Amino acid sequence: MVTTQLPEIIGFGDGSDSDRKACLLATFLLLAGGLIARLAQSYIRNLPPGPRGLPLIGDVIHIANPEWLASPKRKDEYGDMMYINALGTGMLIINSQRVAVDLLEKRSTIYSSRPHYISVGDFMTQNLAFGIVPYGDRLRQFRRVTAEIYSKSTNPSAPERHFHRHAWSIMLSVNYDLPPLESEDDPCLVEIEDHLRRFMREIQPGTRLVEYFPWLKYVPDRFAKWKRDTQNWFIQDSLMFQRFLGKVKDDLANGIDRPSFAATVIKSQSKHGLSEVEKAWLVGHLLAAGGDTTSSGLEWWLLAMLMYPNVQARAHAELDEVVGRDRPPTFADIPFLPYIRAMVKETLRWSPIAPFSVPHASTADDWYEGTFIPKGTICLQNMGVLNFDREVFGDNVAEFDPTRYLDEKGRVKMQMGGREEGHMTFGFGRRVCPGRYVAEGTISIDIATLLWAMRFERPEGSQGELGVRNRVQSGLTAHPVPFECKVVPRFTEAEALLNEGLSMYK
Ligand code: HEM
């Protein structure tokens, strides 16, 4: 069956038997040649340590096992860098901040691209999704536009109660000036989440064979459902993002000029020269990148509150002392709430929001500390090891302890481990998260407001172990396994005061 279709599939030859055999042989030789060359490279040149796997195919078993890759035991076995090769793709797992900074920051000219994804990149998004845009002109444009707007001073709008809906509401408000979502079933949210689900599934290693056998992309559409699907999704998703942008365009045309990322991108069109579809995807994927990550951060924080009631009690005491009980906290209070600010940093350090960050890919051969890192190596930042480094964060790394970010006078430390944020959760170098100030601002005001009004408890008799190891991975992000939580108002006026505060934003 396969042999009769092959000449048509790979698109050359007249279909005769000898042509078919020649095609098969050529494909096999190309594939084997590539793999043998890679393998030879690994023996002749000194690749970083790591399991070598089987001849020709490499270590396909381990490369597809995130738990095995992420385990701190790998650092004990192989040191700060572990290199794995599978089917010709090299992957470098970075297990120390020093190596991450040396490669991804100091040598960022060659470590700032993303892996080449055929299905989710070339087909489903035409390489317009910000997080996977290859290093080059488009990335520079996207980052320049974003940096102008998502600066340190960005403050998101009104806080609400539900993390998921709330995080998306903030993103929709910052990006498109849309009002808070009334429900989880809002068509806007349903559409974006549908896109994100497909995006995350496509990006997951192992979803598509074509990522390992790139010649499969030449299979005609009629034989490849994945190609038809991803191409249709590109049209469907482009229309969605263009529709969101179109609403802001119409508002501007009608003299309604309210601040949003979309409005700024539209107004600065002549300066940046982005095409219509580039603008639509830029704003759309800033939204997509921010919603799921922020809501994951808040979920992990809530889990920490149930696990560490003493930490929660200390935050309550700080809020009572600094803000009092007559009004909810505002952004203006945040600089005067060092324990809450330290808690935000600790939440970002402790939570496995994006366990391997977003992979970088190298664009040139490189030598580092006597080892050879071939061009095209996929570099994974192992957050569970980087953010749990005892030398940087102290011996109690596994505990949720905001005081690690406070000095002896109770002030927030200016930096930790040489980093202003005090953790590595936002990534490195030229691909560092451009939404980090929005994320920190959102999480700070949320945590302050929620703790001001409420106490969170684990209901008696709840089953299951709580902890960062119990997680559900969806694409690049991870959420806690669902858990029960009891919410207790801290004082009777809290709800009325919150509603009063919220009405100011409507
Ligand atoms: C807790 C919340 C967040 C976390 C933990 C987070 C984390 C990250 C990480 C680890 C990266 C990859 C960095 C690297 O490659 O070295 C990244 C990239 C990115 N983030 Fe965030 N992020 C968060 C919130 C946001 C928000 C709110 C936005 C938008 C407003 C955003 C927009 C982006 C974009 C567009 C990229 C891709 C940048 C590029 O590829 O050059 N993120 N983020």
Residues 323-372 pLDDT 10s: 999 999 999 999 999 999 999 999 999 999 999 999 999 999 999 999 99
CA distance 326 to 66: 48
38-52, 287-301, 484-498: segment of lowest average pLDDT: 38-52
Residue 426 CB less than 6 A away from ligand 1:
yes
Residue 33 pLDDT greater than 60, yes or no: no
133-142, 381-390, 458-467: segment of lowest average pLDDT: 458-467
Location of structure tokens 């051969």: 365
CA distance 36 to 56: 6
**C-alpha dihedral sign at 207, 210, 213, 214:** negative
Residue 379 CB less than 6 A away from ligand 1:
no
Q: Measured in angstroms, how far is the CA atom of residue 158 from the centroid of ligand 1?
A: 22
57-61, 189-193, 208-212, 457-461: segment of lowest average pLDDT: 57-61
CB neighbour list of residue 116: distance below 8 Å, 6 or more residues apart: 134, 361, 376
Neighbours of 293 (CB within 10 A): 21
Residue 62 pLDDT greater than 60, yes or no: yes
CA distance 364 to 170: 39
- The upper half-sphere exposure of residue 351, i.e. CA atoms within 13 Å in the direction of its Cβ, equals 30
Residue 293 CB less than 6 A away from ligand 1:
yes
Q: Measured in angstroms, how far is the CA atom of residue 267 from the centroid of ligand 1?
A: 24
Q: Give the chain's length.
A: 506
In the structure encoding, which two tokens stand for residue 456, read together?
A: 């969170």
Q: Per-residue confidence at 454, pLDDT binned at 50, 70, 90?
A: very high
User: What pLDDT, on a 0 to 100 scale, did the predictor assign at position 15?
Assistant: 41
- Ligand 1: which atom is nearest the Cα of residue 150? 30
CB neighbour list of residue 337: distance below 8 Å, 6 or more residues apart: 318, 319, 322, 323, 329, 448
CA distance 51 to 78: 9
Residue 291 CB less than 6 A away from ligand 1:
no
Residue 53 CB less than 6 A away from ligand 1:
no
Q: Measured in angstroms, how far is the CA atom of residue 426 from the centroid of ligand 1?
A: 6
Ordered by where they begin, the domains of the chain are 45-503 (1.10.630.10)
Percent of the chain with pLDDT over 90: 60
Residue 431 CB less than 6 A away from ligand 1:
yes
Which residue would you say has higher pLDDT here, 456 or 167? 456
User: What pLDDT, on a 0 to 100 scale, did the predictor assign at position 177?
Assistant: 86
Residue 411 pLDDT greater than 50, yes or no: yes
User: What pLDDT, on a 0 to 100 scale, did the predictor assign at position 67?
Assistant: 87
Residue 153 pLDDT greater than 60, yes or no: no
76-90, 163-177, 376-390: segment of lowest average pLDDT: 163-177
Report pLDDT digits (tens) over 103-124.
999 999 999 999 999 999 999 9
Q: Measured in angstroms, how far is the CA atom of residue 53 from the centroid of ligand 1?
A: 33
In angstroms, the Cα distances linking 466 to 27, 72, 120, 432, 485 are: 51, 20, 34, 30, 12
**Atom 6 (ligand 1): residue with closest C-alpha?**
426
User: What pLDDT, on a 0 to 100 scale, did the predictor assign at position 162?
Assistant: 54
User: Do residues 62 and 68 lie in contact, with contact meaning Cβ atoms separated by under 8 Å?
Assistant: yes
User: What pLDDT, on a 0 to 100 scale, did the predictor assign at position 457?
Assistant: 93
User: What pLDDT, on a 0 to 100 scale, did the predictor assign at position 7?
Assistant: 28
User: What pLDDT, on a 0 to 100 scale, did the predictor assign at position 268?
Assistant: 84
Q: Residue 325: is it exposed, middle or buried by C-beta count within 10 angstroms (0-12/13-18/19+)?
A: middle
Q: Measured in angstroms, how far is the CA atom of residue 141 from the centroid of ligand 1?
A: 16
Q: Per-residue confidence at 186, pLDDT binned at 50, 70, 90?
A: confident
Which residue would you say has higher pLDDT here, 188 or 181? 188
Residue 140 pLDDT greater than 90, yes or no: yes
Residue 13 pLDDT greater than 50, yes or no: no
- If we measure between CA atoms, which residue out of 358, 440, 432, 424 comes closest to residue 170? 440
User: What pLDDT, on a 0 to 100 scale, did the predictor assign at position 161?
Assistant: 36
Q: Is 379 among the annotated ligand-binding positions?
A: no
Q: Compute the average pLDDT of residues 174-188.
A: 84
Report pLDDT digits (tens) over 74-109.
999 999 999 998 878 899 999 999 999 999 999 999
User: Do residues 289 and 434 lie in contact, with contact meaning Cβ atoms separated by under 8 Å?
Assistant: no
Residue 283 CB less than 6 A away from ligand 1:
no
Residue 55 pLDDT greater than 80, yes or no: no
Percent of the chain with pLDDT over 70: 87
CB neighbour list of residue 179: distance below 8 Å, 6 or more residues apart: 173, 506
In the structure encoding, which two tokens stand for residue 299, read together?
A: 């979920």
Mean pLDDT of the chain: 86
In angstroms, the Cα distances linking 352 to 70, 346, 505 are: 11, 12, 32
Residue 145 CB less than 6 A away from ligand 1:
no
User: What pLDDT, on a 0 to 100 scale, did the predictor assign at position 1?
Assistant: 29
- If we measure between CA atoms, which residue out of 296, 43, 357 comes closest to residue 167? 296
User: What pLDDT, on a 0 to 100 scale, did the predictor assign at position 3?
Assistant: 32
Q: Measured in angstroms, how far is the CA atom of residue 286 from the centroid of ligand 1?
A: 8
CA angle 281, 286, 289 (to 5 degrees): 115
